[in-house]
A and B are shown apart, each in its own frame.
Chain A
Amino acid sequence: MENITANKVLDTSGLNCPLPVLKTKKALEDMQSGEILEVIATDPGSKADIPAFCQRTGNELVKMVEEGDRILFYIKKK
């Protein structure tokens, strides 16, 4: 669990609702099942929104880490 290697990184720094969720959805579209997407966000609302998006769409939120102002999400594609 300590070392998650992401297959793709999406940086949404500076973007606000609803862009982090919409861009996450788009980024997942061209990935293979089981691959990991790393999402970097600075929007505090994404702390609630990205997990809600994952729960709704069935993609697994493997890990969520807060690093100062940044929040990192690791999402495994369904």
Chain B
Amino acid sequence: MSKERLAIIASKGTLDMAYPPLIIGSTAASLGVDTAIFFTFYGLNIVHKEKIHSLKLAPLGNPAMPMSFPPSVEKSFPPVKIIESIFPGPPQIMGIIPGMTDFMTSMMKKTMKDKGVASIPELIELCKEAGVKLIPCQMTMEVFGYKYEDLIDGLEPPGGAATLIDYVTQAEKPMMLFI
């Protein structure tokens, strides 16, 4: 019987919310905790072959959005610092402009890269290397119309809520995290 098991439920499909389950999952496994990540609802996009590369960050309806430009942009084009001092991040209303979501997404990706944070596909590989079980939600696959072949390689067979609860409660110390 395993001593400790951690089950993480990844339920969000935006770029920013794809990070926490993968970072915590890969780290937990590296620290010797048996770990599984259950990808459900929009979180299933994190393990979708194509959608994993097009996860986005929406500025609209995200009051925490004010963010500075990526360090490499500030360096190569210093005038952006003036823009930042006037608008610390895009005003909410700009989120409705077509292309704004893609723009913010690319800025976020650039900042992450500049700061030495791994990308989502890299984190997935690190999770696999660390032995994290990646479980796609069967019900969500039905709802979204995703086939097992549409998902990335190296996943566990699709499972449901019972699969997850059974996995985690087999340990002396079960832990669960909803993200």
B17 within 8 A of A: no
A contacts, CB < 8 Å to B: 14-19, 21-22, 25-26, 43, 52-53, 56-57
Q: Which of B5-13, B24-32, B99-107 contacts A (4 or more CB under 8 A)?
A: B24-32
Which of the residues B26, B30, B31, B117 comes within 8 Å of A16, measured between beta carbons?
B117
Q: A16-B115, A17-B23, A22-B126 are in contact. List 7 more A-B contacts (CB 8 A).
A: A18-B126, A21-B31, A22-B27, A22-B130, A53-B31, A56-B32, A57-B32
State the CA gap A17–B112 with chains docked (Å): 11
Interface centre among B31, B32, B130 (most CB of A within 10 A): B31
Chain B proximity of A42: nearest CB distance (Å): 8
A52 partner residues in chain B, CB cutoff 8 A: 31
Question: How far, in whole Å, are A43 and B118 apart by their CA atoms in the complex?
Answer: 13
Residue of B nearest to A52 (CB): B31
Q: Choose from A14, A18, A43, A53 the contact partner of B26 (Cβ within 8 Å).
A: A18
Q: Which residues of chain B have C-beta atoms less than 8 A from A19's C-beta?
A: 116-118
Q: With a CB–CB cut-off of 8 A, which chain B residues contact A26?
A: 129
Interface residue ranges, B against A (CB under 8 Å): 23, 26-27, 30-32, 115-118, 126, 129-130
A43 neighbours in B (Cβ, 8 Å): 116
Q: Is the CB of B26 within 8 A of A22?
A: yes
**Most chain A CB within a 10 A radius of its CB, from B116, B117, B130:** B116
Instruction: Return the contact of A22 from the options B30, B32, B115, B117 (Cβ within 8 A).
Output: B30
Point out the residues of chain B lying under 8 angstroms from A17, CB to CB.
Answer: 23, 117
Q: Please, which residues of chain A bring their CB within 8 A of the CB of B116?
A: 14-16, 19, 43
**Shortest CB distance A12–B (Å):** 8
A51 to B129, CA, bound (A): 22
Say how far A28's CB is from chain B's closest CB, in angstroms. 10
